Amino acid sequence: MYGLSQVIMSKKSGDVFNPKVVRSTMGAIFRVNIIESDDLIGTLKEIKKHKFKITATSLQTEESIYDVEYKKTAIIIGNEANGVSEEVLEMSDKKIKIPMPGKTESLNAAVATGVILYEYVRQKLK
């Protein structure tokens, strides 16, 4: 799954092991360590202690996904309805968005994640 080894999800997120979700991953879900966090803010603080940068998606920024180096970075994707919480945005080191010409403002979370992770992989392959 894009060379990632770990995914952290809020327990408030959907069920990652829902049969439809598992089928849609074509088995890739079993090659990634998935951590469900009861306290996402606490988990992110712990990640920062290990010198990881926190990068969150936000429509309220001019920085694009192409302006960030993804080395040792945790990428935060919000849900379609509300995006990333204010509390997470405040503790983020960077805020990024996917540049989208035209009138479309945003993508759903799954598509946005795919686009961002594609840029992550592209940088790794350089």
17: pLDDT strictly greater than 70? yes
CATH code of residue 104: 3.40.1280.10
Whether 15 maps to a domain, the answer reads no
Give CA separation, 34 vs 3, 4, 8, 16, 64, in Å: 14, 11, 6, 9, 27
Whether 3 maps to a domain, the answer reads no
42: pLDDT strictly greater than 60? yes
Structural domain count, the chain: 1
Q: Which residue has the higher pLDDT, 93 or 18?
A: 93
pLDDT digits (tens, 9 = 90+) for 86-124: 999 999 999 999 998 888 777 888 899 999 999 998 988
Q: What is the 3-state secondary structure (H, E, C) of the chain?
A: CCCCCEEEEECCCCCCCCHHHHHHCCCHHHHCEEEEECCHHHHHHHHHHCCCEEEEECCCCCCEHHHCCCCCEEEECCECCCECCHHHHHHCCEEEECCCCCCCCCCCHHHHHHHHHHHHHHHHHC
Query: What residue numbers bound the domain in which 110 lies?
Result: 39-125
